[in-house]
């Protein structure tokens, strides 16, 4: 089925293609809208500018990391080293910046480079050595976690005041993080839908063999998506350093699975070849709104877990039920 879906864009007239696209990303936005209504109904302050801004800014790191996860999952892979890379970049950024506040920019770039290299190593092992991505990135993540904890096993470090502006700056009425997201997702969507590279990402996920036989350098594509994922995870970690003001060796823990969840909620198939960033953005916002809403309503963390797990399973089950009804 994956192959048929991924071939569709070229074999169907443009109009039908667009309709299919709407159907595919529809349900997640429906969930999102329903969630916003529920949130607004239960807590009127939810629609205030302040809380909307809160949701957006606090969702930013996940939104950044989820772009990489989406690319990886589109190639039928998975990246479980995202959380550890976020923690590593976050901690090293803050620890180094405390000692060398004068070279803040260089340090941030170095942290991003480290993320890129780790991702490239993942991509090399998966693409060229054909190692199973789940286990490989799990192992890589465990190693990075160890490295991070050996650098510092408690929160610490500090970023410069100027550096904090990365997360706090406001351009006109719009917080800077929202602009980052807009730019990142627009570039990502353009790249996925309109460039040969994007097409090759879908092709590799749809059927790696036929992609290779049709001339796509599949191994290079796989290497690139993991490298991008590593780079973006590091960026998320650096952003968190700017937002919190210090480093924390465990700050990334929840992000690995949240990024998978956001991607899958957004309709990207774990089998690869189907999905995209539009859905992921909605998935990220669903997670962000859920967190804010459950907190605003004073629901204990304990029940929040139950609700989140149920929504995760429920929305995918609903998606299957809906698809079966249509076909």
Partner 1 sequence: MDAALTGGRNLLGRLRHSSLSNPAAIIWIAVLALLIVAGLVSSGFVDGAHLLNVVRQSSGLGIVGIGQTTVIITGGIDLSNGSAITLIDVIAATLLNGSDQLLIPVVLLCLALGMFIGLLNGLVITKLKVPPLITTLGMAIILRGIAYVYTNGAPKGNTSPVLKFIGSGFVGPIPTQVIFWVVITLLAYVALQRTPFGRYIYAVGGNLEASRLSGVQTDRIIVLAYVVSGLSAAIAGLVLAGYIGTGSLSLGDGYDLNSVAAAVIGGTAFSGGTGSIIGTAGGALFLSMTFSLLRFLGLPYSNQLMVQGAILIVAIYIYARSQR
Which residues are at the interface with partner 1 (CB under 8 A)? 78, 125, 129-132, 134-136, 138-150, 153, 257, 260-261, 264, 270, 300-310, 312-313, 316-317, 320-321
Residue 141 or 237 having the CB closest to partner 1: 141
Q: How many Å apart are CA 2 and CA 279, to the nearest integer?
A: 18
C-beta of 30: minimal distance to partner 1 in Å?
Answer: 18
Residue 134 or 197 having the CB closest to partner 1: 134
Q: How many Å apart are CA 315 and CA 285, to the nearest integer?
A: 15
Residue 56 or 88 having the CB closest to partner 1: 88
Residue 50 or 300 having the CB closest to partner 1: 300
C-beta of 139: minimal distance to partner 1 in Å?
Answer: 3
**Angle subtended by helix axes 255-265 and 49-74, to nearest 10:** 80
C-beta of 100: minimal distance to partner 1 in Å?
Answer: 24
C-beta of 194: minimal distance to partner 1 in Å?
Answer: 29
C-beta of 149: minimal distance to partner 1 in Å?
Answer: 4
Q: How many Å apart are CA 175 and CA 134, to the nearest integer?
A: 36
Tell me how far CA of residue 183 lies from CA of 28, 219, 237, in angstroms.
22, 28, 18
235 membership: H or E segment, kind and range: helix 218-244
Are the CB atoms for 162 and 97 separated by under 8 Å? no
Distance of CA 283 to the CA centre of its chain: 9
Residue 106 or 314 having the CB closest to partner 1: 314
């Amino acid at each position: 089925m994956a192959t048929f879906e991924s071939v569709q864009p070229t074999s169907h007239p443009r109009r039908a293609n667009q309709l299919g696209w709407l159907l595919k990303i529809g349900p997640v936005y429906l969930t999102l809208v329903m969630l916003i209504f529920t949130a607004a109904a239960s807590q009127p302050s939810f629609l205030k500018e302040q809380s909307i801004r809160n949701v957006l800014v606090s969702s930013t790191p996940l939104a950044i990391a989820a772009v990489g996860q989406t690319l990886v999952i589109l190639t039928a892979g998975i990246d479980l080293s995202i959380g550890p890379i976020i923690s590593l970049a976050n901690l090293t950024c803050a620890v180094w910046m405390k000692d060398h506040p004068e070279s803040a920019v260089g340090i941030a770039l170095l942290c991003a480079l480290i993320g890129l290299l780790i991702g490239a190593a993942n991509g090399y092992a998966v693409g060229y050595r054909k190692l199973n991505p789940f286990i490989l990135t799990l192992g890589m993540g465990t190693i990075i976690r160890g490295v991070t904890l050996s650098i510092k096993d408690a929160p610490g470090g500090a970023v410069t005041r100027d550096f904090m502006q990365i997360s706090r700056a406001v351009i006109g009425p719009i917080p800077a993080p929202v602009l980052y997201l807009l730019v990142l997702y627009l570039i990502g969507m353009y790249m996925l839908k309109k460039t040969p590279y994007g097409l090759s990402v879908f092709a590799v996920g749809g059927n790696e063999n036929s992609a290779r036989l049709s001339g796509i350098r599949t191994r290079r594509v796989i290497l690139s998506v993991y490298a991008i994922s590593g780079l973006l995870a590091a960026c998320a970690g650096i952003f968190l350093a700017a937002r919190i003001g210090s480093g924390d060796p465990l700050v990334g823990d929840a992000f690995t699975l949240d990024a998978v969840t956001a991607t899958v909620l957004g309709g990207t198939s774990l089998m690869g070849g189907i999905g995209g960033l539009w859905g992921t953005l909605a998935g990220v916002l669903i997670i962000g709104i859920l967190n804010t809403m459950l907190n605003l309503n004073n629901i204990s963390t304990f029940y929040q877990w139950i609700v989140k797990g149920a929504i995760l399973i429920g929305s995918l089950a609903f998606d299957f039920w809906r698809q079966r009804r249509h076909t």
